[in-house]
Amino acid sequence: MKTKSLLPAFILFCLSLSAQLKQLTIEDAVMGARSYLRAQSLGGIQFIPETDTVVYVRPDNTIEIYDPEIGTTQSLKNLTEITALLENKNEKGRFNLGNMKWTSATTFRLPVGGTWYEIDPFKGEVIGSEKNFGYGLDNADRCEK
């Protein structure tokens, strides 16, 4: 009976010891707030249509999917791989992965220059492209499409 009552106390004691590996000083808290202690920023956070999963771009420019039902993440493609896919389509423009817009459960659209590319990151291919002549133009109705 006594051992049963001591076991939870021992577990709590062990957890309290391991919870504080290093005690922060004021200097660490102030000087490290914008460097090694800052939270990781994620870009392009959005829900994938037709699913419950969330997609985002990590600071190292890797597209990652988080499935909240099972609590797992899956890395898809990174900036280098997407650039290689677009170079196969003779596209050498600059782009930001945070500008991707998911259009279905398996594809997203990415604006590069004046063109929108439809990309399937699961298969690793560019499905199609569409020129975006009228974006931001006052005379868009006179542009040739």
Taking only the tens of pLDDT, the chain with its 145 residues reads: 444 555 555 555 555 555 556 677 777 767 776 666 666 777 888 888 988 888 888 888 888 888 888 888 888 888 888 888 888 777 776 788 888 899 999 898 988 877 888 989 888 888 888 887 655 555 555 555 5
What count of Cα atoms within 13 Å lies in the side-chain half-sphere of residue 114? 9
Q: What element of type H or E holds 5?
A: helix 2-19
Q: What is the pLDDT of residue 97?
A: 80
Asked whether 66 and 54 are in contact (CB, 8 A), the reply is yes
Q: What is the pLDDT of residue 1?
A: 46
- Partners of residue 133 on adjacent β-strands: none
- Residue 32 phi, psi dihedral angles, 5° rounding: -90, -5
Q: What is the pLDDT of residue 140?
A: 53
